[in-house]
Amino acid sequence: MKIEQIYTGCLAHGAYYISSKDEAAIIDPLRETQPYIDRLEKDGVRLKYIFETHFHADFVSGHLDLSKKTKAAIVYGPTAKPEFEAIVADDNQVFEVGNIKIKVLHTPGHTMESSCFLLIDETGKETALFSGDTLFLGDVGRPDLAQKAAGLTMEELAGLLYESLYNKILPLPDDITVYPAHGAGSACGKNMMKETVDSLGNQKKINYALNQPNKEAFIKAVTDGLLPPPGYFGMNVAMNKKGYESFDEVLKNGMTALTADEFEAVAEATGALILDTRNDAAFVRGFIPQSINIGLSGDFAPWAGAMIVDVAQPILLVTDIGREEEAITRLSRVGFDKVLGHLAGGFNAWELAGKETDTVNRITAEQFASEVKIGESQIIDVRKESEYAAEHVQEAYSKPLAYINNWIKDINPQQHFYLHCAGGYRSMIAASILLARGFRNFTEVAGGFNAIAKTVVPKTNFKCQSKLI
């Protein structure tokens, strides 16, 4: 028997490849299927089942393409209503894969169909729990995402989650290995550990949600402090439930190379969003006017989802040469399938064609320190609330990037302001959005708060972030 966790840091997502004898199963696969196909062929095994822990909100699963290519059956837990052929399992139903068994544990609460999969090895021992978004390491799944679909309140869903965890998961043996669907950085929870594998026994000791004195306390603990979910979550759920275009077609369309003239013509004809995926240091020096910068070398897919939101939005790509396929693939993971093509030759081709360009007004942290007047200058910090609370520039405003569509309307275009994040990645996203919407009277700080903290600029007293969550 083999168990392999395939972890994708950008999404903080764990997919699982399990093989026994001449058969295999995959749990919660990513959108692109070729790596799984290659692995199956290498191991000489047949994919028998694709297990889905629930209808995911934060990414589009590869279950449909993988099933079509391998003829493997897709399996959901009880109450799931997919709009394609799949097995909707009964609670405690057992599936055989080679010499092992996988038992379905229906664990509603995160969503109504949420289920965990308990692996029973060749000897009959309960060995591993693939816990989906029901149980994370250090946390549990948020109970507010499925309210509309379930017709229940957040508190009612949290109550169901309590029953699932305390009646079905906690009674399991301590030595079971827990393999969750997500880790630290995912928006599906609020307090996840950076580790991606742990024993159930250790989680029983340290996970706050598993140590509540009663159901009421549990409901309060897991619902307190939840941030609003990203806007694209509901659209990803719909794609996972209803179906989507083949990734092969999405990739083929996105890999269409366009000259500068063709790129400009398509942009004007379609109203496509121009997404520039170069790093902030390259973008700041020059870019196509109105383009939005979200760098590939960061949490690209989640930020694309949070900023663009509408998965039906047509997109034109500007990338570093050779990274076009990576950008298309990572966009597809969160449902952005309408990539119409990319700029052949990258931004350099646009410049060589003599097309109009734009720049961002960026200064160093040292320049910022010499210019800023605390109490007079307006400073906007786009980091998360927890980062801001831990330490920030005195008199700076907390305006998290995730909520830019809410706070941008409060900006006075006549009043200059300074803009920063932690290191420059998020502030450049914000800067590009501000410029695209007509705001130009601002200065972005290179290196963000990490660089500012090394200057003489007054800051608040540092507080450990872990105690703020």
Task: Give the pLDDT score at 185.
Answer: 87
- Non-local CB neighbours of 258 within 8 Å, separated by 6+ positions: 266, 316, 341, 342, 343, 344
Beta strands in 87-169 (DSSP E): 87-88, 94-97, 100-106, 115-120, 126-132
Task: Give the pLDDT score at 467.
Answer: 38
> What are the backbone dihedrals phi and psi of residue 425, each rounded to the nearest 5 degrees, phi first?
-65, -55
- Average pLDDT value over all residues in the chain: 96
Q: What is the pLDDT of residues 111-121, one digit of tens each?
A: 999 999 999 99
Which pLDDT band holds residue 464 (cuts at 50, 70, 90)?
low
Which pLDDT band holds residue 298 (cuts at 50, 70, 90)?
confident
Task: Give the pLDDT score at 469.
Answer: 27
- Non-local CB neighbours of 217 within 8 Å, separated by 6+ positions: none
Q: Is 0.85 topped by the overall pTM?
A: yes
307, pLDDT greater than 50: yes
Q: What is the pLDDT of residues 18-48, one digit of tens each?
A: 999 999 999 999 999 999 999 999 999 999 9
Residues in the chain: 469
Task: Evaluate whether 88 touches 80 at the Cβ level (below 8 Å).
Answer: yes
What gap in Å lies between CA 116 and CA 125, rounded to an integer?
17
Task: Give the pLDDT score at 394.
Answer: 96
Task: Give the pLDDT score at 466.
Answer: 45
What gap in Å lies between CA 72 and CA 316, rounded to an integer?
34
Q: What is the pLDDT of residues 135-158, one digit of tens each?
A: 999 999 999 998 888 889 999 999
